[in-house]
Amino acid sequence: MRHFEELVMSGDWDEVESYLAAFTKLEDNRYSMKIYFEIRKQKYLEALDKKNGAAALEILVKDLKVFAAYNEDIFKELNLLLTLENFSLNWQHQLCQNPKPNPDIKTLFVDHTCGQSHPNGARTPSSVTNPLMGSVPKPAGFPPLGAHGPFQSAPPPMPSPLTGWMANPSSVPHPSVFAGPFGFAPANNSAMITHPRTPPTNNPAVDYQTADSEHASKRMRTLATSNEVNHMPVNILPVGHMGQSHGQSSNSSDDLPKVVMMTLNQGSAVKSMDFNPVQQALLLVGTSNGETMIWELGSKEKRAHKNFKVWDLGASSMPLQASLTDDNTASINRVKWSPNGTLFGVAYSKHIVQLYSYHGIGGDDVRNHLEIEAHVGSVNDLAFSHPNKQLCIVTCGDDRLIKVWDAVTGTKQYTFEGHEAPVYSVCPHYKENIQFLLSTATDGKIKSWLYDTNGSRVDYDAPGHSSTRMAYSADGTRLFSCGTNKEGDSFIVEWNEVEGARKHSYQGLKRSVEVVQFDTTKNRYLAAGDECLIKFWDMDNDGLLKTHDANGGLPASPCLKFNKAGTLLAVSTNENGIKILANVDGINLLRMMQIRALGVAAKARKMSMLGAASTSVGPSEDRVTPMPSTVMMNGDNPSPVNVKPRIEDITMENSEIRKSIEITEPAQCRSIRLPDNTSSAMRVSRLIYTNSGLGILALAANAVHKLWKWTRNDGNLTAKATTSVIPQLWQPTSGILMTNDISDANPEDAVHCIALSKNDAYVVSASGGKVSLFNITNFKTLHTFMAPPPAATFLAFSPLDNNIMAIGMEDSSIEIYHVRVNEVKMKLEGHNKRITGLAFSDVLNVLVSAGADSQLCVWNTSGWEKQTSKQLQIPAGRVSAPLAETRVQFHKDQTHLLAVHETQIAVYEAPRLESPKQWFPPETSSLITDATYSCDSQSIFVGFKDGRVAILASSTLTLRCRISSAAYLPNNSNVRVHPLVIAAHPHEADQFALGLSDGGVCVLEPLESEGKWGTSPKLENGAGPSGTTPSAASTADQAQS
């Protein structure tokens, strides 16, 4: 096998096939057929990649034509590739961490889905994107390869071997070998997501080289599936590496959270808990008496507390009003955070679901968002999903229905009927970009649904006909369920999604009066509350791994929940409390947060002094009640308050405000200047971190890109960007440079723009000429498009569909460009000067544009209509340059918008762009050159023309820290140097990089002893880089609307 692997790695496909022929023939079985097809397909694609049409044609006729007997359509698609121009071998696929033979490339600029890793180490192929993994309709009767997931449907015969219960999500024809599975029937609109039978376990996967390998474009794509299912934001807390691993995360159960760190007094029985996916020490709790609380574990404080109350009783149905007349209380059945942690939902035992927004800025920013009378009777579960690329909330109830609601507007999207008993739980998921939904009922029935009106695709029985909840492992590759039936028998199992059979039945659960609750963590462990204990299992072993009593005091069937990283575990207690257990990383996380707790508490006290007046809530016609921007503190008292405090209110509190830190010497912070041995010293025009946080990419004024990478070594085990290790200026072995196409004009006079794909594989960039697409692995130019005039001046990708790109132009227009079909879909006009900034919000479904005319425009991404526009308010006495740039960026909550202009920093609330907070540097200060949010959006890093950098608190726009150029520039510099662009690290909240006017790039971090920017001494009023005076603060307030 090792010899075979070496042949594969070398890319000598003729030798690979010759060696394989000694063991198996093409027609022996479906697996041999698949392997032979992949070998020959690789030869064919490499010939196309080398633009050797004659060789490609010969391979097509001699080697691949044999497969036409099994699927003529895919053979036609292979033929079609001969006609494509600029074809590059799997170019979007080269940097996939777990590449598979035939990727599902639906978009060019994000990692496509490459499927799951099989638990035994073998990589399981996916039939959706692998042309031979579906059943091969061989004339002689080739047997079908497995049933269709997640469970095998009963009786009706399928019209096609690959016609199943999952609908094909893509309606855009794409002439590519990657477009559909082998055996796919184009005439049938019902394709599917299939999950093939597990291949033999004695077929190990090849451990392929990294993307930097010179063999990257030749290696065979391994049989793998995706480890990129969860697209939630990364952990924003600066702890050690705690990201979800894919595969076995640890070799020891010592990694489980078992140390009791604290006990929280909840006051009533805990019914449901959920950790925020971003702020991983933020715990949402729902109780039996209808209370909802948010606990900040670092400070052990309640960040929010809400009691059960119908917001608009007058618009409620008669059954709900009647039930409240008899008893105005309700229990909480489920609490759940949205994937990005900015919304949370609460499902009650009486009819309704309430959604709140949580922005985490300015203290306790919790607002009523939507109230939905979702079901008749109890709402038993809720979950968030993304059907049709929009955030939705899924609910189920005693009325035997499942409903899907738009999480922004509350509009009902779907109603699923078919269960014959109350629906107990829902579990949305997706695989291969197919969105689907699993549901369970109290009679033990399991059903699966697509987001359509065609009914359930699956009807299967839960073990023991139990009331069951289902959950996927963190990487989305393994499906588990846990439940208890009426006789008290409990079951925790892993499902074989192909056959709908139990793959593992875990031992150790006893008879229980209540339904046993469970959770999964680290793609390896299961935990359930049973017999006043926490019981742990290894996912790959049926036997009980370990039990833990959490120092006693647990109920018979405690409620429990892991945080996303698996470092903390919350478990309910007998005394209506919650115990927080931690492992080593969790302990470090909590200790770090406790150090910060004093400052957080001071900020919370300051915000509580702002006060608010009560208001009533208006009626709603359809019992979906969108709520105004209000803050509800201390339960039942809704308070309509501008949660963005007026700057003068903050600056007047002389005794409460801390003085900003002045950093004037290199010893007061950590900084490095990135090495650059090139002869070019052109100014840095654009600067971005890679999304992994392992590198920095700069675009210089001469249209040349530079990439620095940090490597893994003894001094930097994580390979992350850091000031403690010098990175390498990286170049491929070919020595070529990534250089943009330039117009006839001097590139130094051009407007430069750049965007990086989410998988860090591709760069889209322009410098006055055509827009260029580069492969970041080898610096090759893959494609150029949109020749000027007009020239592109800003680039941004839609977060919901990365085939869609917004391109700002020199002539003030915005072109909505579809990358895959190379077509401009829409041209937007609303500015008077060139476009200087673009930002999408996937929560609001809007695009915000900014221009050199100092105007902001909001466009609805559904029909691209302009919703509103706003002119920046230039402060009195300041004159803006004729073509001064305005940049825009969304806060991580996707509703607050940062606008950066040379005269000001402004924060608006989208989409109406109302209630701006503005910060103006004092008149004695120099102009702003650039600014950006930190990765957690708690800070704003601002660069100035005099070389200084200011760090503002984003919630109040007050100055936390001021850094002189002397702290990061050498003393012997005779040239006046200043930052032109600034970039924030994507995972480290206090690290940022500066692109300088002399062509250099500097990275800055606070001292390790400080931990963050601006942590001490006492301060007078002011927020300006030179110390804003009270009058300056007043000026800032006067500019507010």
Burial of 14 (0-12, 13-18, 19+ CB in 10 A): exposed
Give the integer Cα–Cα distance in Å for 35 and 220.
11
**pLDDT at 360 (0 to 100):** 62
Residue 621's CB is within 10 A of a number of other CB atoms, namely 7
Residue range 821-840: mean pLDDT, rounded: 93
Q: Is residue 281 part of a domain?
A: no
Higher pLDDT, 116 or 279: 279
Identify the domain containing residue 95 by its residue range: 1-228
Provide the β-strand partners of residue 381.
396
pLDDT, one tens digit per residue, over 71-99 is: 666 776 777 676 554 444 344 444 455 55
User: How confident is the model over 202-258, as pLDDT tens digits?
Assistant: 333 333 333 333 333 333 333 333 333 333 333 333 333 333 333 333 446 778 999
Contacts of 419 (CB under 8 A, 6+ apart): 400, 401, 402, 439, 441, 443, 445, 447
Check residue 105 and give its pLDDT.
46
User: Could you tell me which residue, 504 or 345, shows the higher pLDDT?
Assistant: 345
- In the block, residue with structure tokens 């100014």: 683
To the question of pTM greater than 0.75 for the whole model, the response is no
> Residue 216 has which token pair?
């990257």
- The pLDDT score that the predictor gives to residue 503 is 87
> Using CA of residue 686, residue 687, residue 692, residue 695, what is the dihedral sign?
positive
CA dist 924 and 941 (Å) reads 20
d(CA 916, CA 128): 48
Judge whether 282 lies within some domain.
no
Residue 364 lies inside a defined structural domain of this protein: no
The residue to which tokens 């003529």 are assigned: 72
- Tokens (6 digits) for 341: 């942690």
Task: Compute the chain's Rg from CA coordinates.
Answer: 29
Confidence of residue 908 (pLDDT cuts 50, 70, 90): very high
Cα dihedral across residues 823, 828, 832, 833: positive or negative: negative
User: Can you tell me the mean pLDDT for 159-163?
Assistant: 30
pLDDT value of position 91: 40
Peptide bond into 911 cis (omega under 30): yes
| 514: Cβ contacts below 8 Å, ≥ 6 apart | 484, 556, 557
In the chain, what are the helix, strand and coil shares in percent, each to the nearest 5?
15, 35, 55
β-pair partners for 385: 392
Instruction: Kindly list the distances between the CA atom of residue 715 and the CA atoms of 186, 472, 720, 724, 726, in Å, as whole numbers in the listed order.
Output: 55, 36, 11, 8, 10
Whether 587 is covered by a domain: the verdict is: no
**997 inside domain:** no
Question: Could you tell me the pLDDT band of residue 278, with boundaries at 50, 70 and 90?
Answer: confident
Residue scoring higher pLDDT (141 or 103): 103
The average pLDDT across 681-704 equals 92
Q: What percent of the chain has pLDDT over 70?
A: 72
pLDDT value, residue 903: 92
pLDDT digits (tens, 9 = 90+) for 998-1018: 999 999 999 988 888 986 433
* Domain contains 36: yes
- 804-821 pLDDT tens trace: 899 999 999 999 998 878
Residue type for position 638:
P
Does residue 285 lie within any of the structural domains?
A: no
Contacts 24+ apart (CB under 8 A), 411-419: 411/624, 412/624, 413/387, 413/451, 414/387, 414/451, 414/452, 414/453, 416/449, 416/455, 416/456, 417/455, 418/447, 418/455, 418/456, 418/459, 419/443, 419/445, 419/447
Domain contains 369: no
Tokens 């000694």 correspond to what residue? 22
pLDDT at 132 over 70: no
Q: What is the pLDDT of residues 526-544, one digit of tens each?
A: 999 999 999 999 999 999 9
pLDDT value at position 67? 80
Number of domains in the chain: 1
pLDDT above 60 (res 262): yes
pLDDT at 455: 86
List the beta bridge partners of residue 394.
383, 404
Which of 78-82, 141-145, 290-294 is predicted least confidently?
141-145
